[in-house]
Amino acid sequence: MKAEPLMSEEEAKKAAGKLNYRHGGLLVVVVQEESTGQVLMTAFANREAVEKTLSTGLMHYWSTSRKRLWLKGETSGNFQLVKEVLVDCDGDSLLAKVEQIGVACHLGEKTCFHRNIKELIKDGK
């Protein structure tokens, strides 16, 4: 497994500084598997998480539950190697195309989006 930085630390600071962290100091990150196009998860990132993502080539987020910077895979080994990052039209959302090591979901599924919403209306639930 070889992570490839997208840019230098200085460039990462510059790029991250141009984004809009308007959701309580955070922006939205969508993660898509580059090889298949499958959407794996969404999460939030603050400026530091964006800088680290770009300068290391490994997806970093801001954990809203643990209130700290989170390197995806630091505990599970399920790292996400960054291949490409795109910015949306108003700069407050990122689309990261990655190579997923292992699976994205802590429940063991490949993607966090593994339930059809229709399952929520089944009888007895």
CB of 111 to its own copies, least distance (A): 8
Which two tokens mark 52?
A: 């680290």
Buried b / exposed e along 97-125 (16+ C-beta atoms within 10 A): bbebbeebbeeeeebbeeeeeeeeeeeee
Q: Among candidates 52, 98, 93, which has minimal Cα distance to 79?
A: 98
Taking CB under 8 A as the binding criterion, the range among 55-63, 67-75, 85-93 that sits at the site for its own copies is 85-93
Residue span 15-54 as binding mask against its own copies, x where in contact by CB under 8 A, dash where not: x--xx---x----x-x-x---xxxx-xx-----------x
Rounded CA-CA distance 1/110 in Å is 18
3 near its own copies, judged by CB under 8 A = no
Rounded CA-CA distance 103/95 in Å is 18
Tokens 């895979």 correspond to what residue? 73
Task: Using CB under 8 A, pick the residue from 4, 25, 84, 102 that binds its own copies.
Answer: 84
Taking CB under 8 A as the binding criterion, the range among 55-63, 66-74, 115-123 that sits at the site for its own copies is 115-123
1 near its own copies, judged by CB under 8 A = no
Sites of contact with its own copies (CB under 8 A): 6-7, 11, 14-15, 18-19, 23, 28, 30, 32, 36-39, 41-42, 54, 84-89, 93-95, 105-107, 109, 112-121
